[in-house]
Chain A
Amino acid sequence: MDKLLLVLVIVLVVISIAQIAKMYQITGKLGNKREEDTTPTSNKVNANLLLFFMIALFATFIWQMVAFKDVLLPVAASEHGVLTDRLFNINWLILIPAFFLVNFLLFYFAWKYRYDKNRKALYLAHNNTLEMVWTIIPSIVLVFIIIYGLVTWNDIMDDPSEDALQVELYSKQFDWTARYAGTDGQMGESNFTLISAANPLGLITEETVREKIEELDEEIKNIERRIEEEILPDSRVEELKKRIAMRTRQRARVINYLDSGIDFSAALDDRVIRGEFHIPVGQEVNFKIRSRDVIHSAYMPHFRAQMNAVPGMTTQFTFVPNITTDSMRTVLGDEDFNFVLLCNKVCGSAHYNMQMDIIVDTPEDYQKWLDEQKTFAASLGIEIEESVADREEDAESGEEDGKIAQNNK
């Protein structure tokens, strides 16, 4: 079938080139004609070409639909994605016939009513009935499209339920970091000022705050020393003084955390994940999406999910994955298949390669994977305090609130 269509397209292309050549030949013979006069021959050739172009356009469209069927995204891997795809297909059922119909009328009329000096055009200035028809019919169709679309949209954008698993997707130039709450079911708070190599998300804990203060103090001291010891142009001194002022402001902002009453342990048991992240099949996952530098976009095409990551605010997207990576591999017959998170908002030179694999596991495998992940405290080299371990036990016995039980399921 593919080959047949390919041959058809090639034949059509050849005919088109031949037609153009012929047109040239014919029009070339007519030496002294005025440029503004369309000769009957050239008018006819162009009319035929218009009709022929329409056929070629339609044929190419059908050929592409057949030939490139397999490069399109595979079946949706999330519950709402199935609804989205249905909406998509129903829209196409309306739009593709409209594409064929309107283009057909356009090119067919152009061909049919080519110039004939013995005919006079119909003096038809307007016709209210006709105009009502093509105002009302599109309106009715659009009402349907709008309502169906908005119902689906509201479904997708509905607030996540209490039980949803929360995963943070944190973006920067040019990679993603995922974060899961610890056994307390709470993600710790963060502040961009606290970001450092050891603390890529800027999580607020006593240790990270103290470290940052030390770091800032040292930087301030270094700059002060430079101003005193080195011989610098005034403009440079001015610049350095501004820097000191900025660091001092940041220090004041950070130091407030120490007696702000924030529960530092909330961050300590969080799990900060790089490389690939896992989510359990059948479980509602609420992604909290953030950025630390420029706008990125968390695009997960297989799940029909996308949301921008905007510095200074948290956005969210919620979906329920409905097929595991393993099952998807079987369905597609591709052992190496992986769901992937891409960046879909231009963010700099390596924007094209800002990706992270997503693994959809069975709930058991997911739990096993999560348990293997280091806590933030462990990555800082801090022992988790006794109290946290206590809470963990409480949670396991199911006496804490539902959210924690959910996370330990």
Chain B
Amino acid sequence: MAAVSEAQVAEHAPDHGHEEHEESFVSKYIFSQDHKMISKQFLITAVFMGIIAMALSVFFRLQLAWPGESFGILNYFLGDRWAPDGILDRNMYLSLVTIHGTIMVFFVLTGGLSGTFSNLLIPLQIGARDMASGFLNMLSYWFFLVSSVIMVASLFVETGAASSGWTVYPPLSALPQAMPGSGLGMTLWLVSMTLFIVSSLLGGLNYIVTILNLRTKGMKMTRLPLTIWAFFITAVLGVLSFPVLFAAALLLIMDRSMGTSFYLSDIYIAGEALDPVGGSPILYQHLFWFLGHPEVYIVLLPALGISSEVIATNSRKPIFGYRAMIGSILAIGFLSFIVWGHHMFVTGMNPFLGSVFVFTTLLIAIPSAVKAFNYITTLWKGNLKFTPGMLFSIGLVSTFVTGGLTGIILADSALDINVHDTYFVVAHFHIVMGLSAIFGMFAGIYHWFPKMFGRMLNTKLGYAHFWLTIVGGYGVFFPMHFVGMAGAPRRYYQYTDYPMFDGLADLNVIITVFAIGAALAQAIFLFNFFWSIFKGQRAPQNPWKSNTLEWTTPVKHVHGNWPGALPVVHRWPYDYSKPGKEEDFVPQTVPIADDEEEHG
């Protein structure tokens, strides 16, 4: 470890008084190997992907609220082929739903969230000069960018983008004759996801190695900020589960174009019987959800890690139950690998196997409850500063609890029978995973923007953004529970063909109105974000009076992070309002005083 650090010092950090060598535009801004720049690249790419995915959701929400009505905006964006006379085509509807889900889950909340903050914070908070391999880190971003471009490009192919839902279950996704979106669109989806998986693995391996090997002197595992613990477990989950999705995708590619039958059997479609016999579509689902469920936590854990840090800092109080928090992250990480079957209770899986998955799934509620209560206890008797980041973190705890509770219903197989694949599920995962993770991401952006860009975001706009977003978010997803309990299936183009769903028309309008509102509110954020990059107030050294190491680096980024020697860590990161100290924070670099007891 020491040897590596020394080597990096020699390589990256020029001696004091020595001018930093000028880098070319290309190596500084484009093919950068500096983790801080890569982090910004991830974030900006994810912001663009987020805009696209959100726009897609507004398009299909228009159709759901006012089925069959004409909207000029749809025709403007989708053209005569996909929205003739402004009426959304039903194949395009499914494409929109699919690509919205794919982009949000993978490109925004995995690549965007983990890619941005793991990259930014791992070296800065553990006291490393950079990632273990800057080159692999750069590759990770470029694979991510290329896969993003391909995913977006797939919206423009003649037969439409992939449209079998973000889970792309075969045989629907395997047979071009089953739906137009399963043609070239699906091929591009698979190519894009394959590249994405490569990106994710390169990133994840790098994060793990960096955290294990490049911690600065004194930075024991039990002195790591919870952000780093969360990123660490997230990376482990990704490295263990993404290869399984890779295998699933590979077999699907072979079924699609090489005549194999891993997932196909006994199919008669488009007027003819097909060859494949003996495959199982259920095999795909097992492989997919073996990634798919840990993926939920790959999305969620970084958000929880970020909020731990933001809440502790802005409560001016240690995070409550530091070790319990680490324990719950580990427990959640472990359990997330043995619960995938709860997505498959009604696939015809053996009911006894179903029972096992009920048990393991409901166990996750325990570490989750511990986390929620620990956040609340951190607030208790704190001294709370409501920065926009803090507000988003509090919002995260609320959505994590609200959405988590309905998970208990869905994990109960007997109840899942009737709400499976209905809007109840849509409500559940959008609140617990969508809103929570995006709130965590916003919290992170507001909190670490000064570290990323050396400038502050506008606070007032931040407040407006938070309030409109939380009202919009709850307004969209809360009523969906009722839609689901009315028995309305998800991924329906319209509900007008069923008298039993007539009563849902009002609710669907309410949901869409809130969705449009919430989407417009993001304009405030976008303006704030891009404006502040160039025009924001200059950031001070340590704007939030935080203990962690990243605030000891210069505001203006330098290669190697610290101009001189690496900082030495003497304490855990949560010494806020410690009795006997004048200031209400004690940075990790401050040695333990003689009369002081270290928290351990």
Contact = CB atoms under 8 A, between A and B. Distances in A.
A308 B171 CA distance: 13
Interface in B392-421: 394, 397-398, 401-402, 405-406, 408-409, 412-415, 417-418, 420-421
B387 A36 contact: yes
B357 to A, nearest CB: 11
Interface string A338-379: 101011111111111101000000000000000000000000
A150 B356 CA distance: 9
B408 A91 contact: yes
Contact of A138 (B365, B377, B384, B422): B365
B394 A110 contact: yes
Interface in B218-246: none
A344 B421 contact: yes
Contacts, number: 368
Interface residues of A, number: 118
B370 A135 contact: yes
A249 to B, nearest CB: 7
B320 A126 contact: yes
B85 interface: no
B499 interface: yes
Interface residues of B, number: 127
B372 A102 contact: yes
Contacts of B18: none
Given A98-B405, A109-B380, A156-B414, A150 B358 contact: yes
A99 B386 contact: no
Interface string B165-202: 10001011001001110000000000000000000000
Nearest to A159: B351
A122 B317 contact: yes
Interface in A26-41: 27-28, 34-36, 38
Interface string B573-596: 010111100001000000000000
A125 B322 contact: yes
Given A115-B385, A138-B365, A311 B317 contact: no
A292 B381 contact: no
Contacts of A124: 317-318, 320, 377, 380-381
B281 A312 contact: yes
Interface string B460-473: 10011001001100
A375 B279 CA distance: 33
A46 B389 CA distance: 12
A120 B358 contact: no
B344 to A, nearest CB: 9
B171 A311 contact: yes
B24 interface: no
Interface stretch (A64-72, A203-211, A221-229, A390-398): A64-72
A114 B280 contact: no
Contacts of A46: 386, 391, 463
B268 interface: yes
Nearest to B456: A35
A195 B268 contact: yes
Contacts of A195: 268, 273
Contacts of B456: 34-36
Given A35-B536, A293-B178, A340 B383 contact: no
B415 A120 contact: no
B282 to A, nearest CB: 6
B402 to A, nearest CB: 6
B47 interface: no
B217 to A, nearest CB: 24
Interface stretch (B70-78, B134-142, B248-256, B486-494): B486-494
B488 to A, nearest CB: 9
Given A122-B382, A349-B179, 18 more contacts: A43-B386, A68-B479, A71-B504, A87-B415, A115-B386, A120-B383, A123-B579, A150-B359, A152-B414, A157-B354, A246-B275, A292-B268, A301-B500, A305-B418, A306-B420, A348-B172, A348-B178, A352-B493
The 6 A-B pairs at the shortest CB distance, nearest first, are namely A312-B265, A301-B487, A315-B348, A71-B503, A157-B351, A36-B543
Interface of A: 16, 20, 23-24, 27-28, 34-36, 38, 42-43, 46-47, 49-50, 53, 57, 60-61, 64, 68, 70-73, 81, 83-84, 87-88, 91, 95, 98-99, 102-103, 105-107, 109-110, 113-116, 119-127, 130-131, 134-135, 138-139, 142, 145-146, 149-150, 152-154, 156-157, 172-173, 191-193, 195, 202, 246, 249-250, 289, 292-295, 297, 299, 301-302, 304-308, 310-313, 315-316, 336-338, 340, 342-353, 355
